[in-house]
Structure 1
Amino acid sequence: MIRKSLFSTACASLAGLAVLAGCAASTQPASTQAENHGWIKDEVADSYVYGYPLVLMAMAHNAAVGNGDAQPGQAPANTLRHAQAQPAAGAANPSTPDVDTLASNGWLDLSAEPVVVTLPDARGRYLGARALDMWSNVIWSSAGGANPRAGSAKAQTIAFVAPGWDGTLPKNVQRVDASSVNVWLSVRIQSNGPRDLTAVKKLQRAIRAVPLSVYTGDERGSSMATRGGPADTAPAAAPAARVAALDANGFFNELADALKDNPQSPADPHALKMLADLGVKPGQPVKLPGGAADAIAAGLADGRARIATAPANALTANGWSWLGDDVGRYGNDYALRAYAAYAQPGSGTKDDEVRPTVTVDSGGQQLNGANRYVIHFAAKALPPVRAFWAITAYTPDGALPDTGEARRSIGSRDRLRRNRDGSIDIYVSANSPGKARAENWLPAPDGDFKLVMRLYEPKPEATDGSWQPATVERQ
């Protein structure tokens, strides 16, 4: 059965973050708090959930851009770094790397002037682009609008504009108002294997990201670098590990520093009041409450546990779990926003991509390559997409297994053998299920593993709870 517990009130929507949403809360007077530090624990935990996406994005930005002298793996602002090869076996940075598309990632700096991004006509190939603010909200997506498929098929030009900019843009340039001066841009282009790389690279070279003055002066490429290699400017495992290693003082100092230039939009005075109670103010050194080390440590542990726990409005069915309609545009749903940043950094909207994940079979047992599994899709229950869908196997920590020359994902782009009734059976195991089933076989690691199903430009039923991924049955 699908579980989708949508939040019916502002208080309920925060799943334990009531104060942040403006729900009534009682804060004891300072004179009575000396012997009762429970409020400190709770506010540290709530504030951690609230601020985690911003701290993660700030660290990802700094790691990707550097300090003016780009190091290997870094790229200056307004420069896209292109992945031009499939991720290697054992790759787990980022976790569960995508083998169906090649990514171009970069950070835009809007402080001096707007940055104009030009996307080419993909000529029927999937090309999905999205831009995120520093709070991990999607501020623009190529899959937006009434007909998401049209957004990724045609050429378009978008100008990202900093708050307060009141200039004029050229004709036929779409304006997108950002909530901060830094924006993360991600462009993903469908890749059909090693023989398809030339076509993908040609499209990558056609992507431009230049300041407005360069765009209007037609100084083509003067501010655009083409860098091959891993597209590692996304908020991936390295920044996440650095955030996880911070103690409370380190985390809240990072948050205070990031808040200075990245106020939440719309503003949340309740969240800022709670931070102020803890001695956290934008742009100022943090002064956490004294004599409450145990409460602060407990609150930090609680906050870390919360962001790693799927919120109540995640979707679940047949052992799979995924994020629904609210992903990418969170409003005051801080629990969902933090979980998405932790588990699926760079998440798009419900129109961009959906990623159901499963770790157990229909009997609740951990998936293991020593067993053989079948995923049976009824003819009318295939993953609902406008573009394509695929399933990939990973080790439990999100690394790609070494499958040699065998396929690394399986899905709608493959010539899958259908049953007489139009249904499809996908076979998953470490060893081949035999010649008759080879066309529908997804190789798995020898040991424990998990499956990630990607729906590119999903239809509404993929996120509104009316569609269920098929069960993983052990044979």
Structure 2
Amino acid sequence: MNSSKETFDMNAPEPQLAVALARKALARSIGLAAFVYGYPLTETYRTCAMQTAPQGERRAGASHGSDVRAPLNTLHHAPRPSTDEDRDVVTPANDLLYTIAWVHLAHGPMLLTVPASARHPGRYFVLPLYDAYTENFENLGPRNCNPEGETVVLVGPGGTVPQSLAGHRVVRCPTDLVWLIGRILVGDESDWPAARALQSEIKLAPAPGTMLQGRPAAVEHWAGPPVDAMAAAFEHDEPAAQVAPRFFTNMCRELVEAPGRVEDRALVAWFGQVGLRPDAAFSWDTLDEPAREGLIEGFAEGVQLVGAAGRNRRPKPWSMTPSTGRYGHEFLGRARTAYLGLGALATSEAVYAAAHHDAKQEPLDGQRSYAMRFEADDLPPADAFWSVTLYDADRFLYPNEIRRHAIGDRTPGLKHGADGSLEITLSHARPSDTANWLPAPAGRFYLILRMYYPREGVQSWRVPALQAQQG
């Protein structure tokens, strides 16, 4: 331990100093664990605070394109797919129309209308529901809803269903704050009207007796700028000593409204050993000095751990996430998924693979040109659709001259080889033939392969590695 970093009284009597050092060590351990556990929760509330803020309160970090902003318990229908202008959520898909709502169930149930899939044959859509910890606890769509459409009752953990709604399907939500991120498959601009027609059938309304009120206190009084903790600590060069107090203040306030699962309560109670307790009036300044110093160090270690999870192993061309959306006690996996992209679907709905390196384990860089080749009999195993989307180092879509951000099984104008194979070119420099070109920035980038309605055995399927081209 570097004693030069200690700011509490080093001249204290030896027993007192030993206790202070031990308390700091305990706080450091708790700070690390609390960051890993609480990061998805704070990201959920941060995003809710940003997206439900009144129009006059636009703050840095808000979307400059689709402008995802709507009051609580109100649907926002994105009129177009995400582009490089959209900055609310990292790693957005480019081949979907999103319908988003922040649903608050503390004051009573809400009614969600699922569209009639029979009126839109062949059109993929899903209405996923996420709790405050980013758990994808329910997916509503053609696979489990009435093809003629149906209205579902959303009920909070302590809520009751009105007698007038007896017979309706009920979805009991783990937390009062629920994030709906509806997805509708969409093609080029000529397909937008048909996709919007389905989108317009999604409805959200209060159940009889539900009184809509203002935003939850932890959302209304969210502390700090609307950037995530790791971005503030590293990408924006803000020291952990400045970010950690805001992070833990938000987390303790949010735990009041979203206490988590019963089986997690012992872990949260352990956080209280150094003063991190569910408290709507939590104040960082009430913590003792050893606790504050230890928590700051634990926060910094947590940022590093979550940001580097899985990267200490030998780089692989592709990494397929074994499970997303439903995490159980895999808190580190949940936190890393929240960092890479909020709102991941459960693996029964979609499977994701990410590429940060080429076939020779070299980082992907747009200064080089790459080829990604799918054989005719070895395309991604998805029954709905698949796509490969390119993101820049900041985890957003890259602005480019042909306005293409993804290539998949529905991309018009793709050229296949005589043997039926498909080869995608990825580079910053424009190739002579742009039919299969996925433009990349001049520096680092990465890819996400999404496979919707994945087939059995998808986890053992090998995604083709990117081959760097000579010249």
Do the two structures share a fold, i.e. TM-score over 0.5? yes
1:50-449 matches, cutoff 5 A? 50-66=37-53, 74-89=69-84, 91-120=86-115, 121=117, 122-142=120-140, 149=143, 155-167=149-161, 168=163, 170=165, 173-213=168-208, 238-240=226-228, 244=232, 247-283=243-279, 284-286=281-283, 287-311=286-310, 318-325=316-323, 327-405=324-402, 407-414=404-411, 416-435=414-433, 438-449=434-445
Going from structure 1 to structure 2, the CA distance change for 1:281 and 1:150 (only over 3 Å counts) comes to closer
Structure 2 distance, partners of 1:214, 1:67, is: 26
Seen in structure 2, the aligned counterparts of structure 1 residues 335 and 89 have a Cα distance that, compared at 3 Å, is: closer
How far apart, CA to CA, are the structure 2 residues paired with 1:149 and 1:196? 23
Q: How does 1:455-474 map to 2 (within 5 A)?
A: 455-462=451-458, 465-474=459-468
Q: Partner of 2:19 in structure 1?
A: 33
Whether the aligned pair in 1 keeps the contact of 2:21 and 2:290 (CA below 8 Å) is: no
Kept in 1: contact 2:415–2:436 (CA 8 A): yes
Describe the shift of the 1:32–1:367 C-alpha distance in structure 2 as closer, same or farther (beyond 3 A).
closer
The 3 A distance-change label for structure 1 pair 317 and 204 is farther
Question: Aligned-pair RMSD on alpha carbons?
Answer: 3.3
Cα 1:243–1:315 change in 2 (3 A) is: closer
User: Displacement of 1:109 after TM fit?
Assistant: 1.7
Q: Which runs of 5+ in 2 are unaligned?
A: 1-14, 59-66, 213-224, 234-241
In structure 2, relative to structure 1, the CA distance for the partners of 1:169 and 1:418 (3 Å cut) is farther
Aligned equivalent of 2:450: 454
- Give 1:22's aligned residue: none
CA distance in 2: counterparts of 1:38 and 1:469, whole angstroms? 43
Once the two structures are TM-superposed, the CA of residue 91 in structure 1 deviates from its matched residue by: 4.2
Distance (whole Å) between structure 1 residues aligned to residue 426 and residue 294 of structure 2 = 47
The answer to whether the 8 Å contact 1:64/1:74 transfers is yes
Q: Which amino acid aligns with 2:391?
A: Y
Deviation at 1:346, TM superposition (A): 1.2
TM-aligned CA deviation for residue 152 of structure 1: 10
Secondary structure in 2 matching 1:268: helix
In 2, are the aligned partners of 1:68 and 1:76 still within 8 Å (CA)? no
Structure 1 residue matching 2:397: 3-state secondary structure: coil
Higher mean C-alpha deviation, range 277-286 or range 187-196: 277-286
Q: Secondary structure at the match of 2:441?
A: coil
Q: How big is the shift at 1:161?
A: 0.5
Any unmatched runs of 5+ in structure 1? 1-28, 216-222, 224-236
My pick for the range that moved more, 116-125 or 423-432, is 423-432
Distance 1:299 1:427, change over 3 A: same
Residues in 2 aligned to 1:68 and 1:405: alpha-carbon distance in whole angstroms:
32
**Residues 112-155 of structure 1: CA deviation (Å, up to 9, x unaligned):** 22111112124211112201111111121136xxxx85669763
Contact preservation (8 Å) 2:369, 2:426: yes
- Deviation of 1:343 after TM superposition, in Å, equals 1.3
Partners of 1:163 and 1:180 within 8 A in 2:
yes
- Amino acid across the alignment from 1:306: L
TM-score under structure 1 normalisation?
0.78
| Percent sequence identity over aligned pairs | 28
- The Cα of 1:103 is off from its aligned counterpart by 0.6
Distance, in Å, in 2 between the alignment partners of 1:285 and 1:386 is 49
Superposed displacement of residue 365, structure 1: 2.5
Aligned 8 A contact 1:390 1:409 in 2: yes
Cα distance change, pair 273–405 in 1 and its aligned pair in 2 (3 A): closer
| Cα distance, 1:419–1:169 mapped onto 2, change above 3 Å | farther
SS in 1 for 2:102: strand
1:252-307 deviations in Å (ceiling 9; x for gaps): 22111111121111332431232111112212524433235543321110011122
1:177-205 Cα deviation digits (max 9, x unpaired): 11222211110111102222211222221
Q: Is the 8 A contact 2:89 2:341 kept in 1?
A: no
Question: Contact between 2:387 and 2:450, CA under 8 Å: does it hold in 1?
Answer: yes
Contact 2:91–2:340 (CA under 8 A) maintained in structure 1: no
Q: Quick check: 246-255 or 179-188, which moved more?
A: 246-255
Distance 1:195 1:247 in 2: 46
Is the Cα contact below 8 Å between 1:160 and 1:176 reproduced in 2? yes
Counterpart AA for 2:201: A
Q: 1:56 to 1:159 in 2, by over 3 A?
A: same
One-letter amino acid of the counterpart of residue 259, structure 1: L
Note the C-alpha offset of 1:45.
0.8
Q: Which stretch shifts more, 154-163 or 30-39?
A: 30-39
Counterparts in 2 of 1:447 and 1:70: CA distance versus 1, 3 Å: closer
CA distance in 2 between partners of 1:115 and 1:30 (Å) = 55
Instruction: After superposing the two structures, state which structure 1 stretch, 65-74 or 164-173, moved more.
Output: 65-74
Amino acid at match of 2:228: A
In structure 2, what residue type is equivalent to 1:428? Answer: L
Q: 2:47·2:88 contact (CA, 8 Å) conserved in 1?
A: no
